[in-house]
Amino acid sequence: MSKIYFVRHATPDYSVHDDSIRPLTDKGVDDSKKVTEFLSDKDIHKIYSSPYKRSVDTVSDFAKKYNLDIELIDDFRERKISDYWIDDFKSYSKNQWEDFDYKLEHGESLREVQVRNINELRKILKNHSGENIVIGTHGTALSTIINFYKSDFEYSEFKRISGIMPWIVCINFDNDRVVDIEEFICETIEFI
């Protein structure tokens, strides 16, 4: 049995529009310490992360405390919306969840995000059978992973988790078969 702890990043500073370097807010930095507290008794063997700053920074405190390296995996990055900032994110997201192939010019569809994330996850499951792994990730990327294994995780579920940062989802795998999925909010370290 393998346990994968997907850690959606803590609260980012949306005034920085460059997705790859968007930092955490002060609250986000504080909340990353709650991630450390939550993961401290989980016997983690390895940490992977999206290369985006907010994801790396959310798991960095834990990595430092337990002397674990963070291996960056580009295919765990968040989906690219377009080459420009969009103001109506809700309508855009709804369109994407209603049509998994919908995308803006120079952007990615949810299907493309899902395929690259699942491909990387399968490699990790193959290489770390029976281990407990952390993956620093993003809301949309993680939602597409959950949707792959649980097709009723759709737009309404995506909306439900939109403001939960950090958000931890533990998926227990028997080889590459999902046994169960648990959600945790680090704000209160509670099961949801």
**Cβ contact 13:22 at 8 Å:** yes
Asked if residue 1 belongs to a domain, the reply is no
Residue 85 has what pLDDT?
A: 83
Q: Is residue 15 included in any domain, yes or no?
A: no
In a domain, 67, yes or no: yes
Q: Does some domain include residue 58?
A: yes
Phi, psi of 62, deg, nearest 5: -65, -45
Contact residues for 103 (Cβ-Cβ < 8 A; gap 6+): 96, 109, 112
In a domain, 145, yes or no: yes
Tally of domains within the chain: 1
Q: What is the pLDDT along the chain (192 residues), one digit of tens a residue?
A: 999 999 999 999 999 989 899 999 999 999 999 999 999 999 999 999 999 999 999 999 999 999 999 999 999 999 999 888 888 889 999 999 999 999 999 999 999 999 999 999 999 999 999 999 999 999 999 999 999 999 999 999 999 999 999 999 999 999 989 999 999 986 544 443
- What pTM was computed for the model? 0.94
Find the domain containing 68 and state its range: 24-78+87-191
Residue 141 lies in a domain: yes
Task: Check which CATH number belongs to the domain holding 66 and give it.
Answer: 3.40.50.1240
Question: Given its phi and psi angles, is residue 103 left (phi above 0), alpha (psi -120 to 50 degrees) or beta?
Answer: beta
Q: Is residue 65 part of a domain?
A: yes
Residue 7 resides in a domain: no
Tokens of 39: 């993961």
